[in-house]
Structure formats: C-alpha cells, structure tokens
Amino acid sequence: MTDGTVEMGRFGPFGGRYVPETLIPALDELAAAYAAACGDPGFLAEVDALSADYVGRPTPLYRARSFEAEAGVAPIYLKREDLNHTGAHKINNTVGQALLAKRMGKPRIIAETGAGQHGVATATACALFDMECVVYMGTEDVVRQSLNVYRMELLGAEVRPVDSGTRTLKDATNEALRDWVTNVADTHYIIGSVVGPHPFPLIVRDFQAVIGREARRQILKAEGRLPATVVACVGGGSNAMGMFHAFAGDDGVALVGVEAAGEGLGSGRTSASLSEGRPGVLHGSLSYLLQDADGQVAPAHSVAAGLDYPGVGPEHSHFKDTGRARYVSVGDGAAEEAFRALPGLEGIIPALETAHALAWVTEAGRRGEIEGPVAICLSGRGDKDAVHVAGLGAGEAGS
C-alpha cells in the first residue's frame, strides 16, 4: 500500500501534518485504524462488495471515436467515472472512509464540498450507513451548484453555507477543520480530495486508485498495450491521482494533469496552483499554493467549482518536481466549449471540471503534441453544471 516516501506522510518534501495540536491524536487514531483496516480481509471485501453492488464498479472504459476525430489523435478512451452512483468518482472515497469511520466508532461525519459532488457522495454514504452528516459549502458554490445542495438535503445531510473569505471550497475546508477541532471526539472528517494532513492524502489516493487499476487492465485488454498519455483534471487532484497511481511505475506512460487557468495564467484569476504557485502550507500539508509575497493565500478562481481551490494534493507537487507528471492548464472559455462539445459528439455531458481535461486533449491533439492511445478520466457528469453554463451562454460569459 505504501512506499518509503510516505512513511512520515511525506511525498518527497511535500505533505506532512501541519495542524493544531488538538487534531494530532485524531490523525494518529485515523492512521492506525486505516493501517489495521488495510490488513483486514473483511474490510477490503466489504469495500469491494459495495464498489460492485452499490457504486457500480467497474466503470467502463469507452472508446470515443467522434471525439478522436475532433481532437486529431487516436485512440482516445474515456474512463467513465460519471457512471458511478451519484455521478462522479467522489463516492469511491466516501464509501471507504465512511466504513472506516464506522470501524472507529465515530457516528458523526463532516465534509467540505466545492462542486457539491463530494458533498453528495458523502451524504449518500451517510444515508447508507445511517450516520449524521454535515457538509460545509461556500455560499458562492451554494448558488452555482444549487442542484447538488438539494440532493444533499434530500439525502438527509445538513448543508452549512460558509460566508467567509472567498466563499468557495477553501473556506468550506477551513470551516470543516474548525468543526473537526471542536467535535473531534465523535466526528470523522471525510476530506474529499488528496489534500489535508497525513494520512488523508494517502487514504483518499488509495480509495481512488481503483480508477487507474481498472483503466490499466481495461486498456491492456482493448489495445494490447499501455496508453501513451493519461490525462485528468486537477483541483485538489483526487481523480487525477486515482487515475495516475496505477500508471506511475510505467515509465513509458505520460501523465498529464490539467489545472484550471480560469481567466488565463497571469490574470490573477486562476486555480493553477502547480503552474503558478510556490510551496506553502494550507489545510495541514505542504504543497504548491497560490499565495502572495507574504504567504497570504491568494483567492482562486475557476468556472468549475470543483477546481476552484488555491492548493493541490502534495503527491501532485512531488510528481511535478520529480517530473513524473506534467501539469498544464486550460481556461474557463475552453472548458465551457468542451463542456458544450462532448454531448453532441458522444452523447455524454461531462462535468465542467472534467471538461478541462477534454479541452486540453483537444488542443494538444490538434497541435500534434500528444500520442495515442490516450486515456482520459471522465471524472463526473455535468448535469449539475447545465443551468450555470446555460446562464453563462446567455451573456454572463467572461464577466
């Protein structure tokens, strides 16, 4: 499960456990419970059974021939995480962590959410296991992802709007951490991405790594070879790390993470932590971070709420510095265009987050920069974004 670099919660120099002292015992308890669970065949069997019967795994790896024609590169495969129950990869992690919380005897679950997909996936797992669920969500995201707010409430979760700071994912995470510090005795915090203090980046990666394990097996079966290029969008980076991990040891496979350039690199309105940030400490770990000269965290921006975060998972920072993965970026406009294009080409409406990965493949393919086979993690479905993008089309674009 682990390699030497993560023994101390470190990926190279990144990661760690920079949190208030109050949380240290809970993180120790979580790390120990997770290690014990990973050694328990009963736990692993329960995760596998729920993955199959409830989440709907394995998800298909689908060859997107019309999209290939658009992008000028072939073959292109889409790893259909949008077909998971609740419509995104997030549930891979929430089912696993909720089971872990049950093992630890913690009846109350909290989570942060940006796009609302992690909130919905957490609320779903809590409904399934009959646990109390509180989800923190920035007020800006409550507005632009209103469908997911309603879904969470239907599932029995309490959605607490967060009106501080930039009113997005960063601030929702601050508020979830404050709740955890206060209620740590009976509460487990299901972090939604490969971020946060050790052991969260490791746990979330391990529960998401099923994406890449399946994709690797599926493409070998379909093509008889490994992909040349594996692509995923990166906010915190959970679908990307889940997709990349199985390929990390395959030297011939190029790993490409696509960040949100928002209104364009250099505009001061981006979420491209790896492209434009420098190492810093936020939410418990050292990683690339958008910040000013004094170390104040800079407000992030992206049209995709799930990418609208100034930090990134520490393992991605490590992959950037070692060169194991390459990180590029795509702006709001190109992502919206890809969001509008894929439905007509393939009959699939992608999430705006995912659309960043699709947009980059289209651009890079047309420029002849990438080789097939290409495997893209189609991390989520776009129903949640339809109303928002329709509104942008009506004249708000670029505002």
Partner 1 sequence: MTGRRAPGRIAARFARLAAGKRAGFVPYVTAGYPTLDHTRELVAGLAEAGADVIELGIPFSDPMADGPTIQRSSQGALDAGTTTGDVFDVLAGLRRHSDVPVVIFSYLNPVVSRGVGEFIREAVDAGADGVLPTDLPLGADPELESRLSESPLDLVRLIAPTTYPDRIREIARASQGFVYYIARTGVTGARSALREELGREAGAVRAVSPCPVAVGFGVSTAGHARAVGAAADAAVVGSALVDRLDSGGVVGALALARELREALDEVRPG
Q: Which of 51, 81, 90, 384 is catalytic?
A: 90
Interface stretch with partner 1, choices 67-75, 280-288, 339-347, 354-362 (CB under 8 A): 280-288
Q: Is 185 in the site for partner 1 (CB under 8 A)?
A: yes
Q: Which of 112, 259, 336, 353 is catalytic?
A: 112
- 374-378 and 229-233 strand pairing: parallel
Q: What is the 3-class SS of 152-184, one letter each residue?
A: HHHCCCEEEEECCCCCCHHHHHHHHHHHHHHHC
Euclidean distance between CA atoms 47 and 300, whole angstroms: 35
- Catalytic, 102? Answer no
| Between 21 and 251, CB nearer to partner 1 | 21
Selected from 76, 230, 254, 282, the binder of partner 1 by CB under 8 A is 282
Those residues with Cβ within 8 angstroms of residue 315's Cβ, 6 or more apart along the chain or in another chain? 11, 14, 15, 194, 201, 205, 237, 241
Q: Is 283 in the site for partner 1 (CB under 8 A)?
A: yes
∠ at Cα 97 (81, 29), nearest 5°?
Answer: 150
| Between 9 and 373, CB nearer to partner 1 | 9
Selected from 12, 161, 165, 372, the binder of partner 1 by CB under 8 A is 165
- Catalytic, 379? Answer yes
Q: Is the peptide bond between 25 and the residue preceding it cis, with omega within 30 degrees of 0?
A: no
Q: Which has the closest alpha carbon to 200: 16, 340, 397, 388?
A: 16
| Between 32 and 397, CB nearer to partner 1 | 32
Q: In Å, how far are 49, 186, 190 from 44, measured between CA atoms?
A: 9, 24, 18
| Between 56 and 107, CB nearer to partner 1 | 107
Q: Is 22 in the site for partner 1 (CB under 8 A)?
A: yes
| Between 293 and 394, CB nearer to partner 1 | 293
Which letter, b or e, does each residue of 34-68 get, where b requires 16 or more Cβ atoms within 10 Å of its Cβ? beebeeeeebeebbeebbeeebebbbebbbbeebb
User: With CB under 8 A, what is the number of residues at the site for partner 1?
Assistant: 37
Binding mask 222-261 for partner 1 (x = CB under 8 A): ----------------------------------------
Given the rule CB under 8 A, which residues bind partner 1? 16-26, 164-165, 170-171, 174, 177-178, 181-185, 279-284, 286, 289, 291, 293-297
Q: Which residues are catalytic?
A: 90, 112, 379
